[in-house]
């Protein structure tokens, strides 16, 4: 029986156990995936614990995605470039870190639109924005970053060789794709993007998935845009992780269903 888990703080509301365990079960994999709540102070000990306990693989979430990097034995160049690790594999006692978040964004968007040559507006410049900008750039979209704090927009744009625009200019933003990466709208009926500009975009994606349809997505839908919710990104990053954990083709639809049910269960319980 192989053991997997998720390291984060807090991690109790994670949908990853539901997703991975459903996939293990469906494919007859003898493995279990659990919560591994880890405080920032205990991170180094927890990482050594992966080796000591022969845990095969671990998902990493907030607030450890950056802090975990110096604690690993090997780092995938992609994770180095993004500056964050969301997946660790225990390869015979050597811990290898990689990142599947960017693939989650790329696949979620590519389900509805081709990204090459498109103009993409990214709202926000925090940790989550890094994987989004990397994904868009990798898919050869032209990226503009808008962030409340100008210095952070500038720093992120510089890191990835894309454009930064002042927050006050968001009302003039234009393009084919808009991706919202801030925490605005999480468990609240608020959107950081003026409704008037939404009609200019073909596709609007929100990385927030609680609620599943944020105010931004509701307004974008009403303006005629194709919308992509944050659960899609979560499911696709998890599916890529499952591939790395097991070497098997992930049952993506089943994982999405399991995540959706876990999300609903959270609300009812
Ligand atoms: P994460 O890792 O989830 O991206 P983060 O690194 O703390 O979290 O980044 C949060 C992002 O949300 C930032 O871009 C932040 O903008 P600032 O750089 O100006 O702080 C953005 N954000 C948070 N609250 C916001 C608000 N009320 N309006 C606009 N942007 C907000």
Q: Is 218 in the pocket of ligand 1 (CB under 6 A)?
A: no
Helix (H, G, I), strand (E, B) or coil at 178: strand
- Please tell me the predicted confidence (pLDDT) of residue 268: 75
Class of domain 103-228: alpha beta
* Most informative mutation of 182, 190, 192, 206 for ligand 1 (most atoms within 8 A of CB): 182
Among this protein's residues, is 65 annotated catalytic? yes
Output the CA 183–ligand 1 centroid distance in Å: 6
- The 10s digit of each residue's pLDDT in 4-46 is 999 999 999 999 999 999 999 999 999 999 999 999 999 999 9
Q: Which residues pair with 206 in a beta bridge?
A: 180
* Most informative mutation of 126, 131, 168 for ligand 1 (most atoms within 8 A of CB): 126
Query: Residue 79: which of 95, 92, 93 has the closest Cα?
Result: 95
Query: Could you tell me the residue ranges of all domains in the chain?
Result: 2-99+232-268, 103-228
Residue with CA closest to ligand 1 atom 9: 126
Burial class (CB in 10 A: 0-12, 13-18, 19+), 261: middle
Output the CA 93–ligand 1 centroid distance in Å: 36
**2.40.160.20, 3.40.50.920, 1.10.150.130, 3.40.50.10860: CATH of 2-99+232-268:** 3.40.50.10860
Instruction: Report the Cα 82 to chain-centroid distance in Å.
Output: 12
Q: Is 93 in the pocket of ligand 1 (CB under 6 A)?
A: no
Ligand 1, residue 148: give the atom nearest the CA.
19
Spans of the chain, pLDDT less than 50 = none
Domains 2-99+232-268 and 103-228 share a fold: yes
- Please tell me the predicted confidence (pLDDT) of residue 8: 98
* Percent of the chain at pLDDT exceeding 90: 99
Radius of gyration, alpha carbons of the chain = 18
Return d(Cα 250, Cα 252) in angstroms, integer. 5
Mean pLDDT score of the chain: 97
- Please tell me the predicted confidence (pLDDT) of residue 267: 75
């Amino acid at each position: 029986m192989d053991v997997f888990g998720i390291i984060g703080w807090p991690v109790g509301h994670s949908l990853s156990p539901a997703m991975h365990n459903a996939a293990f079960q469906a494919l007859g994999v003898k493995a279990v995936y659990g919560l591994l709540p880890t405080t920032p102070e205990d991170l180094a000990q927890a990482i050594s614990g992966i080796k000591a306990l022969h845990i095969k693989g671990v998902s990493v979430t907030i607030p450890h995605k950056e802090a975990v990097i110096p604690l690993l034995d090997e780092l995938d160049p992609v994770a180095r470039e993004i500056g964050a690790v969301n997946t660790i594999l225990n390869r015979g006692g050597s811990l290898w870190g990689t990142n599947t978040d960017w693939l989650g964004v790329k696949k979620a968007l590519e389900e509805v639109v081709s990204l090459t040559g498109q103009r993409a507006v990214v709202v926000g410049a925090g940790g989550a924005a890094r994987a989004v900008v990397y994904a868009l750039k990798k898919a050869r979209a032209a990226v503009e970053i808008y962030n409340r704090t100008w210095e952070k927009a500038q720093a992120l744009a510089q890191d990835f060789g894309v454009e930064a625009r002042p927050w006050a200019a968001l009302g003039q933003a234009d393009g084919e794709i808009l991706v919202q990466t801030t925490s605005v709208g999480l468990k609240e009926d608020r959107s950081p993007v003026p409704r008037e500009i939404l009609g200019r975009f073909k596709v609007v994606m929100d990385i927030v998935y609680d609620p599943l349809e944020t105010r931004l997505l509701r307004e974008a839908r009403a303006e005629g845009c194709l919308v992509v919710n944050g659960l899609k990104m979560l499911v696709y990053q998890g599916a890529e992780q499952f591939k790395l954990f097991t070497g098997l083709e992930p049952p993506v639809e089943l994982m999405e269903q399991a995540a959706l049910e876990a999300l609903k269960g959270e609300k009812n319980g």
